[in-house]
Amino acid sequence: MTTSKHKLPQATRPISTISATEQAGGLLLLLGLVSLLGIWRWWRSQRRPWLVLPVLSQLATILLAWMYRNPERQATSGERAVLAPADGLVTRVDQARESRFGAGPCWRITTRSAWHDVQVHRAPVEGTVSLRQYEIVPSKPGNQHACWIRFDMPEDTDGPRALPGRGEAILVHSVTRAAWRLIPVYAAKRLHVWADLGDRVQTGDETGLMPLGGLVETYVPVGASIRVRAGQAVRAGETVLAILPAPATP
């Protein structure tokens, strides 16, 4: 399967809590139009069954507001801790090789976010965004959207380095759910990334949004101590996925 770079407009990271309207986008607009259609048809025909449309639309709006909630999170302390970038369930912990991360092997922690999980993504470590690459994964009946984000930790880190000439790095790969294939592109955005290239983020900062959830892979150096296992639930910005090795002493 091949992937191609997806050209999307650059997005900036907001400084305030994201509202349900901003997150749901066109979905809320469609629900509003359906509600107005039901009211208009009821007014024209005086048939009560048409009132079902606005009632269902209002219930769906309440559900969307809950789905796109953004609760406050308290980042776990610890300079060497790698926190979960997304809510969900850990489905796999294995070793892999990824050219965007480095030449050698690394740990890959795979988390699956469900539609009812909090959809806001957070920075797993403190560092600078050195890579932000959108992709489209061809599939039928529609395409899945994906994004790679690499966080380079401060260069004064003396521990093992994943990238030559830099401090340690953490790589996050997000892939949208297949359910988005059934929703028109103009109805809602599949994947939001607010952290721009060169942005300096703190551990637990909001970095993006993936409505309806999806698959999130976190790549950490092979020398890290993994603190989660398959089947464990994690919370973005709070759950520790791994502890990086201590800096080497001179």
CB 113 within 8 A of CB 174: no
Q: Over the stretch 57-92, which tens digit does the pLDDT of each residue have?
A: 888 888 877 877 888 888 876 778 999 999 999 999
Q: Over the stretch 122-136, which tens digit does the pLDDT of each residue have?
A: 999 999 999 998 887
pLDDT greater at residue 26 or residue 5: 26
Query: What does pLDDT average to over the chain?
Result: 77
Bridging pattern class, strands 81-83 and 200-201: unpaired
pLDDT value for 248: 59
Alpha carbon dihedral 91, 212, 185, 173, in 10-degree steps, equals: -40
Where are the extended beta strands (E) located within the chain? 4-5, 81-83, 88-97, 105-113, 120-122, 127-137, 144-152, 169-176, 192-193, 200-201, 206-209, 214-221, 225-226, 233-234, 240-243
Tell me which CATH code domain 74-243 carries: 2.70.70
pLDDT value for 170: 92
Per the listing, tokens 């970038």 go with 85
Sign of the alpha-carbon torsion through 109, 110, 112, 118: positive
φ/ψ (deg, to 5) at 173 = -120, 120
Q: Over the stretch 140-178, which tens digit does the pLDDT of each residue have?
A: 555 677 889 999 987 644 444 444 334 578 999 998 876
Q: What is the C-alpha to C-alpha distance for residues 155 and 96, in angstroms, rounded to an integer?
A: 24
pLDDT value for 190: 65
Q: Kindly report which listed range (8-22, 144-158, 179-193) carries the lowest average pLDDT score.
A: 8-22
